[in-house]
Structure 1
Amino acid sequence: MTWHWIAEQEPRWDQDKAAALGDLPPTLFGLGYPEVGHPLGDAWWRVEDDAGSALGYGRLDDTWGDAEILIVTTPDARGTGVGAFVLEHLEREAASRQLNYVYNVVPTRHPEGEAVRTWLTAHGFDPTEVGELRKRVASGAAPSGA
């Protein structure tokens, strides 16, 4: 099966994003209480399979040379590599914007926070003194357009 990385030109909150979060509230990730059709800030991409089903999402919020990222996979896609696919593409997007680091702050109320921190660490992120997990972006990388 092939996965496709699709830029959302005008990202909006929708049922697929809500379903991808599962039982996790959007407020946990700083998204507030969005209603279907509500515009979202930042840059968003979605991962689809060949049938056009959404498997996950990536968000990049770049400020001051770094980018906070959000990786969301649908409950059914967890453990399949979709999260690593999203991370790889977010890193390429950040590199194409000549950013220095991507980082994530795992919310203290996240029910699987320790597992998420462990996953990010396994993918090259280092904890900082302010609670972020940071990873240097490889220079010269470009989005694959997959």
Structure 2
Amino acid sequence: MRWVRDTPAHWDADKQRVLGDLPPELFGFGSPADGDVLGDEWWRVEDGDRVVGYGRLDDTWGDAEILVLVDPQRRGSGVGAFILERLEHEAAARHLNYIYNVVPDRHPDPEPVTGWLSAHGFVPNDVGELRKQVPAGAA
């Protein structure tokens, strides 16, 4: 798999496909049209000539919200762990303290997502975030 910088990111057919049945609004993208610019820093994961996932990093105040998106056909194959590891390296290179994720209230499968993040070292806090300290030396 290859980790490819995708910033500035644009909404396209690959992002829609990787999102699967989940609506873009769920993740704060609104209703993007093909070619619309997306904020934050993005990377894509390629396996051969196919995009199989995306990682997004939104850093503010020394921490970063992350998003891990995996092609529905590749879920459970290690692509998500690959993305998470790369996002941790990106956060460490920026000298950030924590990465975090908020599973949207309307997410159709919040328990598996929360469980996956917990299994990867994320801990819930009292404001609904799942946080993980950026590992020292991850850069």
TM-score computed with the length of structure 2 as normaliser: 0.98
- Kindly provide the amino acid, as one letter, of the partner of residue 136 in structure 2: S
- Higher strand content, 1 or 2: 2
- After superposition, residues 53-72 of structure 1 pair within 5 angstroms as 53-72=50-69
- Kindly provide the amino acid, as one letter, of the partner of residue 118 in structure 1: G
Q: Deviations over 1:31-62 (max 9, x none)?
A: 11111100010000000012x20000000000
Q: CA RMSD in A?
A: 0.7
- After superposition, residues 1-146 of structure 1 pair within 5 angstroms as 3-50=1-48, 52-142=49-139
Q: Deviations over 1:78-137 (max 9, x none)?
A: 010000000000010000000000000001110111100000000000000001000000
In 1, the alpha carbon distance for the partners of 2:30 and 2:95 equals 29
- Kindly provide the amino acid, as one letter, of the partner of residue 35 in structure 2: G
In 2, the alpha carbon distance for the partners of 1:100 and 1:116 equals 22
- Kindly provide the amino acid, as one letter, of the partner of residue 46 in structure 1: R
The offset of 1:5, in angstroms, is 0.3
Show structure 2 runs of 5+ residues with no match: none
In 2, the alpha carbon distance for the partners of 1:97 and 1:134 equals 17
TM-score computed with the length of structure 1 as normaliser: 0.93
Q: Percent identity?
A: 63
In 2, the alpha carbon distance for the partners of 1:136 and 1:81 equals 21
> Does the 8 Å contact 1:98/1:139 carry over to 2?
no
In 2, the alpha carbon distance for the partners of 1:97 and 1:76 equals 32
Show structure 1 runs of 5+ residues with no match: none
Dislocated runs of 4+, deviation >4 Å:
none
- Kindly provide the amino acid, as one letter, of the partner of residue 108 in structure 2: P
- Kindly provide the amino acid, as one letter, of the partner of residue 49 in structure 1: D
Aligned residue pairs total: 139
